[in-house]
Amino acid sequence: VINVSHNWLRSARLGANADVNIDNSDNSQFKCNNRAEQLIIIDLSYNQIRSIGDNDLTQLVAIRQLLLTNNQINLINRNALKTCALLQQLHIGNNNIEELPVMPETLIHLDVSWNRLSIIPATIANLPNLLFLNLSGNAIDANTPFPVASSTLQTIDLSQNRFEFIPENLFASSSQQLQHFFLSYNRITQLEPSFFQNYSNLLT
C-alpha cells in the first residue's frame, strides 16, 4: 500500500529503479522502486495529474484499488488500465473526464462522480461484476444509450445529473438486486408505479 495523496504530482507514471518518494515536494513524477509489481493499493488523490497514458500504469499488475480522485484529469487513454487485470476498485471522481478507457471486468466498485460524462459509456455499461456505481455530478440524461449489464449491482448513485425519468431497461439486469438507488437533484417530475415494481428490493 502506498499513499501519495495531497502532493504535487503531475504524472501517475512510476519512475523505475528509484526510491519511493512520498514527501510533499514538487516532483512531477511518482518515483517507486521495482516492487511496484507487488502494490495492491495506491492512492494518488489530490495531486495535479492531468492525463493517464497507455504506459503510465503498466507496472501495477497486482493492483486491486486505485485512487485518482481530485486531480485535473481530462484524458485517460483507452488502454491505460490494460495491465491492471486484477483491479477491483477504481476511484476517479472530481476530475474533468469526458470519456473512459477500457475497464477490467474484475471491477466491483467504480466511482466516476463529478466529471463531465454525458452518457453512461459502454466501457461501464458492459462491466459484468459491478456492485457499486457512483455517477453523481455528471451531465447524464435519459438518452444514455447503453443498458448496464451487471446483474449484481447493489448501489447506484445518479444524483445531480439531468434525468427526467429513468428508462426501464437501463438497470433491468440488476433491478432485483438493487438496494440503494440515489436520484436526488435531477429533473424527474414523476415516478411511474412500474418503477417501484421493477426495483422491489430497494432500501434507500
| 149 plus 200 within the same structural domain | yes
Is the model's pLDDT at 25 over the cut of 80? no
| CATH for 136 | 3.80.10.10
| 11 plus 98 within the same structural domain | yes
Is the model's pLDDT at 199 over the cut of 80? yes
User: What's the confidence (pLDDT) of residue 183?
Assistant: 96
| 134 plus 81 within the same structural domain | no
| 1 plus 88 within the same structural domain | yes
| 146 plus 173 within the same structural domain | yes
Whether 166 contacts 142, CB under 8 Å: yes
| Domain presence at residue 81 | yes
Q: DSSP character for 36? A: G
Whether 54 contacts 80, CB under 8 Å: yes
Tell me the pLDDT tens digit for each residue of 146-165.
Answer: 999 999 999 999 999 999 99
Domains contained in the chain, number: 2
**Secondary structure element (H or E) that encloses residue 86, with its range:** none
Query: What residues make up the domain containing 178?
Result: 123-204
| 86 plus 129 within the same structural domain | no
| 187 plus 138 within the same structural domain | yes
**Model pTM?**
0.89
Is the model's pLDDT at 26 over the cut of 70? no
| 144 plus 79 within the same structural domain | no
Pairing status of strand 65-67 against strand 41-43 = parallel
Mean pLDDT confidence for 129-152: 97
Last residue of a domain, one of 107, 136, 164: 107
How far is 42 from 67, CA to CA, in rounded Å?
6
| Domain presence at residue 21 | yes
Cα angle: 137, vertex 119, 132; to 5 degrees: 60
| 83 plus 149 within the same structural domain | no
What confidence category does residue 23 fall into, taking pLDDT thresholds of 50, 70 and 90?
Answer: very low
Last residue of a domain, one of 61, 79, 107: 107
Per mean pLDDT, which range of 18-27, 58-67, 93-102, 152-161 is the poorest? 18-27
